[in-house]
Amino acid sequence: AEAPETPMQKQLDRMGTTLALLSGGVCAGVFGVGVLRGYAWMEMLKASVSLAVAAVPEGLPAVATTTLAMGINDMRKRNVAVRHLDAVETLGSVQVFCMDKTGTLTMNRMAVVAVYSGEDAFAVTEHQFVSDGNVVHPSERDELVRLMQIVSLCSDTEFHGPPDNRELEGSPTEKALVELALNSGIEVEALRGQRPRLHARDRAEGRPYMSTLHSYKKGKYLLAVKGSPAEVLEMSTHFIRNGRSVRLTKKIRQQILAENERMAGNALRVLGMAYREQDEDHMPKKTGGLVWLGLAGMADPMRTGMDKLIAQFHRAGIETVMITGDQSATAQAIGQQLGLSQGKPLQVLESSKLEDVDPELLAGLVKNVHVFARVSPAHKLKIVQAFQDAGRVVAMTGDGINDGPALKAADIGVAMGGSGTNVAREVSDVVLEDDNLHTMSIAVRQGRTIYNNIRKMIHFMISTNLTEIEVMLAGIATGMGQPMNPMQLLWINLVTDIFPGLALSLEPAEPDIMDRPPRDPEEAIIEGRDLKRMLFESAVIGAGTMGAYVYGMKRYGGGAAASTLAFNTLTLNELAHALSSRSPYRNVFGGQALKSNPHLTRAILGMGGLQAVVSLVPGLRRLLGTTPMGPADLLVVAAGVLLPLIVNEATKPAAPPEAMEGEEIESEEYITVDETEEESVV
């Protein structure tokens, strides 16, 4: 399996290519216009190279890396280890969350709570078997004793520790069954010594059961089988009732299958047990002729607040999909408890049906499925890739070795740190060290915030850089000379732009960040409407700057004094525009307030103070080619900054287009949902 390239990597690569072409075009255009207007070619070469620098937001790599690194540090404080820098951003673009059930949604602490053997159903509470209100000891029923013996033998669970403090080691399912046998009075270790295992055949693709062969008595061998109830029952011909072997009739089979459905409908993991005595000392090529013993239903407690977490993901526009090895009825019951279908009919797909499905058809099919049941490791990978083929950004959780391929192939692989295997952790992008899935909502929030902040920084840098290009082109094209010299341009781009840009990348999360749908991974980091807005804002700022420059030209004539007015007006305009860039929809003069960003406040004050220093210190004035300014000049600069800020803020849209679209879609879905339609199993 190969990990895909992250959405932002693709977008920044595309934007980098565009900006490189733009900078080359700007460089050639300004040079050509200037030479045609009669300016010296060396002077125009310096100006055009300076503008080429202005066309590229050179602070972007530093800002993006710093922002992602700080996101990783913030996640670390919440017991989330992010193993790849760009994974933080990808979290914010997740559209589908595929969740492994056992160990992720549940506690992975199995306990047998129901048994069906003979023709009787037993509730298992506090190590007691209760049937019809009566407590029954397993030793009183031959079929129960045999069932306990089979689950003890057909198991990979091992005993560790001293005799007086034995501990079980194995899968949660097998441990639960062996604990049931121990609590029923079965001496499991002694039994295994009397009937040693000769051969074993584990569950595998197309074989949903485990079988073991044991020495039994002279010339006889015992085949013990446990696994999927339907498959084990299909291989059985008899069952034990009141200590006698009785032929399985169609009616009895239907009763057993109905009980299996009832247990599964109560969200229990159900296994069927059977055995066979044989003369051969080797595993049969075809397992059949078994004696059915019964069903064991195990409960795995749901982690606290999972239904609320699922609802939170849904509010954020993230689809939730459960992947489990359980049979359909169990999976459907749990899916309903979690509210995976958002009030719609719950769709369950048995993954055994995926083998021969065309990939294109599967990519369309998975969009409507909420639960995948009876899933194998190969199916998990196929499911993740199907969602990706459908154009979705997929997060996958897992904790086992068998989750490895799917974790690696997913856009975001999320491993459990406490209960997870080394393989799962090593191929994942994110590790939840305390196995707390709730942290994922914080991680998604952080990822969305980081992406938004990088967009704000890009918006700020490109709009201000466009202003520099427009001002320089306007001055040269109209014959008014160069409004700013190359040193002033470089000062703006390499000093005063960088720190407000960095501060914008540290903006706190917007209040409604988790009430918006995830962005389209194919959507450009700068869309057409964003570019139009940036061109408008840059033109307004450029008009204010050119106004100050024209005033200077009329009062002082061409030269350093007029250039000083343009330089200071544009620099302060960019600092003011950093405030405006905090939100594309919220006005700095009123409306819903944003949380304070002390980093931006310090950056603006610091750069404003630095600009004052370079305007007052004679040596720095000579370096940048500026002159002292009088009170009237300061008023002109203030007007050239305040008026563009007012215009840009007054013309901001009131709300994002996605918000209005989302409300319409939600309303349409509400109207068209048929509430009488029952849940269905595909």
CA atoms within 13 A on the CB side of 371: 32
CA–CA gap between residue 347 and residue 345 (Å, rounded): 6
CA–CA gap between residue 563 and residue 538 (Å, rounded): 19
Spell out the residues 6+ positions from residue 209 whose beta carbon is closer than 8 angstroms to its own. Answer: 203, 225, 226, 227, 228, 231, 232, 287
CA torsion, ordered 37, 40, 43, 47, to nearest 10 deg: 20
- Tokens 């091992």 sit at which residue? 158
Residues in the chain: 682
CA–CA gap between residue 574 and residue 541 (Å, rounded): 8
Q: Tell me the angle at which helices 328-338 and 306-315 cross, rounded to the nearest 10 degrees.
A: 70
Residue 547: enclosing H or E segment and its boundaries?
Answer: helix 528-556
**137's tokens:** 């000891």
Phi, psi of 289 (to 5 degrees): 65, 30
Provide DSSP, 562-594. HHHHHHHHHHHHHHHHHHHTT-SSS-TTSSSPP
Is 100 one of the catalytic residues?
A: yes
Q: Write a three-state SS string for 361-391.
A: HHHHHHHHCCEEECCCHHHHHHHHHHHHHCC
Residue among 13, 74, 86, 100 flagged as catalytic: 100
**271's tokens:** 């296994």
Spell out the residues 6+ positions from residue 3 whose beta carbon is closer than 8 angstroms to its own. Answer: 408, 409, 413, 429
Given a contact cutoff of 8 angstroms between Cβ atoms, the answer to whether 404 and 427 are in contact is yes
- Tokens 């299909």 sit at which residue? 234
CA–CA gap between residue 43 and residue 41 (Å, rounded): 5
DSSP state of 190: H
CA–CA gap between residue 682 and residue 676 (Å, rounded): 18
CA–CA gap between residue 302 and residue 300 (Å, rounded): 6
DSSP state of 340: T
| Closest C-alpha among 589, 571, 564 to residue 641 | 571
Q: Where are the beta strands (DSSP E) in 425-469?
A: 430-432
CA–CA gap between residue 137 and residue 144 (Å, rounded): 9
Instruction: Please give the C-alpha separations between residue 495 and each of 262, 574, 637, in angstroms, as whole numbers.
Output: 70, 12, 20
Spell out the residues 6+ positions from residue 492 whose beta carbon is closer than 8 angstroms to its own. Answer: 54, 464, 468, 484, 567, 570, 571, 574
The residues annotated as belonging to the active site are 100
